[in-house]
Amino acid sequence: MAKEKAETKKKKGGYGAADITVLEGLEPVRKRPGMYIGTTGPDGLHHLIWEIFDNARDEAMAGHANDVEVALLPGNYIRVVDNGRGIPVDTHKKTKVSALETIMTTLHAGGKFGGDGYKVSGGLHGVGASVVNALSTHMKVMVHKSDGEVKSGVYAQEYKIGKAQGKVKIIDKTKHQGSVVMFTPDPEIFKDTNFDFKRIVNHLRQQAYLVKSLRITVIDARGYTGKADFDKVFYVRELDLDVPSRTFYFEGGLKSLISFYNHAQKPIHKNIFYVEKEVEEYETVEVALQYVDDISARILPFANNIYNAEGGTHITGFKTALTRTLNNYAKKNNLTKDKDDSFTGDDVLEGLTAVVSVKLREIQFEGQTKGKLGSTEARGMVESVFTDAFTTWLEEHPDDGKAIVQKAVLAVKARKAAKAAKDSVLRKGALEGMTLPGKLADCQTKSAEESELFIVEGDSAGGTAKTGRDRRTQAILPLRGKILNIERARLDRALSSEQIKNLVIAFGTAIGDTFNIDHLRYHKIIIATDADVDGAHIRTLLLTLFYRYFKPLIEGGFVYIAQPPLYKIKIGKAIHYAYTDADKVKIVGNDVDLEDIEESDEVAPEEDEVEEAEDTKGKKKTAKPHIQRYKGLGEMNAEELWETTMDPGNRVLKQVTIEDAQAADKIFDVLMGTDVPSRKSFIQSNAKMANLDL
């Protein structure tokens, strides 16, 4: 009876030791990869490279390496080489196996937890190499030793899904010193395992600026079809392959990085501010900045050379010191008319390009992906070093100081004008009971999660969309012509545009410092413009507006681009829609010569044309395809627009995301700003990639 009761209790939800699952080795990484690399999307895939590269870069920061190579190889392998000390290969006292195997197969094992292995490093948790190993189908490490510490030679070990496939052994002689790590990501973990060469180049270029006199080479040999043996060379570049490659080497450090980011901008002062100071042994603060004729701010935070996308304590200290120092300087030198009118933090950020880099022995990040610095001491370090150095610099460069203060004074005036314009828009809405724009055909549901807002081009498309929509969940807002290019327009000027005011009121989020994403009225904001040059321009103007003044909408995944069809194809009584030229070929059939079929903007005739086609059984009659080329949404009737572009069951939407905020910011500057030479250069360089509708 007691046994029966015990079994009954267990069935009802008993919880004991038997219910506890113990994951051994690297199993936790494969079970929950997001905990270690943030995501299994493109960001997480490239994070594998960053983890291995950071180990090589840390050797350079410690003064033991000056040359790092990252190569993309056939078979989707990544190969990272550094000429540092080489991963230790002697036997580890605790694990009783080679230190190399311990590092590659054990979480929280590394030389960055104190001692003299690394004074400063980007690694913190000691999980980098082992996590990459766990998420790779195959990894091979070859450590070149020739310094006399251990027997000279190439020490190698291979792994499959994190597990060693044998002991560490010497496989060859060598004259080099350093480490070679090769891995290929596991497609069971990553749905898309295609590495983006441009993204890798941009990241490693940035790292080259941060470590003075470090040579970084990036090679894309994925398309190589020869018989080179990559295991027989230390650097891939020794093979002299005819493949894309880039090499970076900068002695200017952060000042060079500032010049790089500002090359398409007009600086308002000539000299770049720069300070580097060691606060304590092995702990330094490094800051560089320059103001440009722009309204946006670009602040790049780094901690131990790791880019902190979410900022952290070092940025808090920098912003506090910047605001206080410029206020003190302006008042001391009587550069503002109203002494009581101080600059706010936002005022002094306008047009600022700055790099803030700290190096700490004991560093704390928030999360394994190191997106935000959490070390409390970093705030005081940056605040103290920057305040002293910037105060002195302003006194020594009075013309530059005056230009910076004048820039902040303009920002104050703009802030007040923007506040008046914003308050006017919101007050007008409040007085009218938050009346929505007259052209907006709102949806019936009050649930933001269900609601969709289609922003369409022109009244014609607006009328069609209003007729064809699902009135319960879909709202339509037609735009008249092209909206204001706000890339260099302040908020007060932006709000002088009736169409932008309509968007602000329709969204419900307000704008500027009162923006509140929680008040968003639609969780899908869909840009639906024509598939021509004008439509693309309107789409770009809207995305510029969203990026500059409604960035949380993009970051939250609320912005989409509709994909209307390019063609309506009628074959007999059957109607098909083609969204691409490839779709058109597939629908019409590979055996049909498209050159013999005329494309028209006209609707297909009621009676089907037929043509004779001969086959083995003689002659038979087949319908001749009629291809209608859509030039705009207004050419569709309501039923067609619903079926192809608005029906959630059939439509194709592209979600707008920001993969790299710095790159996005720079491209908006080039394409939508005032620097004509940079825009011309961009167009010439990318002209072949454009799909032109001629």
pLDDT at 433: 43
Query: What is the structure's pLDDT at 678?
Result: 61
The answer to whether 532 and 635 have CB atoms below 8 angstroms apart is: no
| Number of other CB atoms surrounding residue 151 within 10 Å | 11
Task: Name the DSSP letter for residue 420.
Answer: H
Q: Which of 77-81, 512-516, 639-643 is least confident?
A: 512-516
Ramachandran assignment for 23, one of left (phi > 0), alpha (psi -120 to 50 degrees), beta (any other):
beta
Q: Which of 104-108, 136-140, 290-294 has the lowest mean pLDDT?
A: 104-108
- What pLDDT score was predicted for residue 21? 41
Q: Which comes out higher in pLDDT, residue 676 or 611?
A: 676
Query: What does the DSSP 8-state code read for residue 179?
Result: E
Name which of 11-15, 86-90, 201-205, 383-387 the model is least confident about: 11-15
Q: Residue 294: name the closest of 547, 553, 682, 668 by CA.
A: 668
More confident residue, 434 or 67: 67
- Mean pLDDT for the stretch of residues 610-623: 53
Average pLDDT, integer, range 403-421: 87
Which residue from 565, 558, 359 is spatially nearest to 452, judged by alpha carbons?
Answer: 558
DSSP state at residue 673: S
Q: Which two tokens stand for residue 68?
A: 């790092």
Q: Which band of pLDDT confidence, cut at 50, 70 and 90, is reported for residue 122?
A: low
Confidence of residue 31 (pLDDT cuts 50, 70, 90): confident
600 and 627 Cβ atoms separated by less than 8 Å:
yes
Show which residues are catalytic: 457, 530, 532, 534
Sort 660 into a burial class: Cβ within 10 Å, 0-12 / 13-18 / 19+: middle
Q: What is the rounded distance in angstroms from the CA atom of residue 21 to the CA atom of residue 355?
A: 46
Length reported for the chain: 694
Q: Is the pLDDT of residue 186 over 80?
A: yes
Q: Where are the domains of the chain?
A: 27-248, 254-415, 436-564+654-686, 567-629
What are the tokens at 195? 């590495």
Q: Could you tell me where the DSSP H helices lie in 525-628? A: 533-549, 551-555, 581-588
User: What's the CA gap between 586 and 589, in Å, rounded?
Assistant: 5
**Under 8 Å between Cβ of 86 and 150:** no
Residue 680: pLDDT above 70? Answer: no
CATH entry, 436-564+654-686, from 3.40.50.670, 2.40.50.140, 3.40.50.1370, 3.90.226.10: 3.40.50.670
Give the least confident one: 23-32, 142-151, 572-581: 23-32
User: What pLDDT does residue 8 have?
Assistant: 46
Per DSSP, which regions of 22-93 are E strands? 67-73, 77-82
Average pLDDT of the residues in 158-171: 94
CATH 3.30.565.10 fits 27-248, yes or no: yes
Arithmetic mean of pLDDT over the chain:
84
Average pLDDT of the residues in 574-590: 84
Kindly report, residue by residue over 200-257, the tens digit of the pLDDT: 999 999 899 988 889 999 999 999 998 889 999 999 999 999 999 999 999 888 999 9
- Identify the burial level of 288 via C-beta atoms within 10 angstroms of its C-beta, where 0-12 means exposed, 13-18 middle and 19 or more buried: buried
Angle at 188 between CA 187 and CA 191, to 5 degrees: 60
User: Which of 39-53, 112-126, 462-476 is the least confident region?
Assistant: 112-126
**Residue that is written with structure tokens 């990040």 in the block:** 365
Please give the backbone phi and psi of residue 40, each rounded to the nearest 5 degrees, phi first. -100, 15
Q: Are strands 574-578 and 653-655 parallel, antiparallel or unpaired?
A: unpaired
Give 76's contacts (C-beta < 8 A, 6+ positions apart).
184, 185, 193, 194, 195, 222
Contacts of 657 (CB under 8 A, 6+ apart): 554, 557
Q: What is the pLDDT of residue 598?
A: 62
Look at 277-286, 492-501, 671-680 and tell me which has the smallest mean pLDDT: 671-680
Residue 552 binned pLDDT confidence (cut-offs 50, 70, 90):
very high
User: Count of alpha carbons within 13 Å of 559, Cβ hemisphere only?
Assistant: 21
pLDDT at position 94, please? 81
Q: How many angstroms separate the Cα of 116 from the Cα of each of 53, 111, 120?
A: 21, 8, 10
Q: What is the second-level CATH architecture of the domain 254-415? A: 2-Layer Sandwich (3.30)
- Name the one residue in this structure whose structure tokens are 């005056």: 402
Does this model's pTM top 0.75? My answer is no
User: Which is more confidently placed, 5 or 480?
Assistant: 480
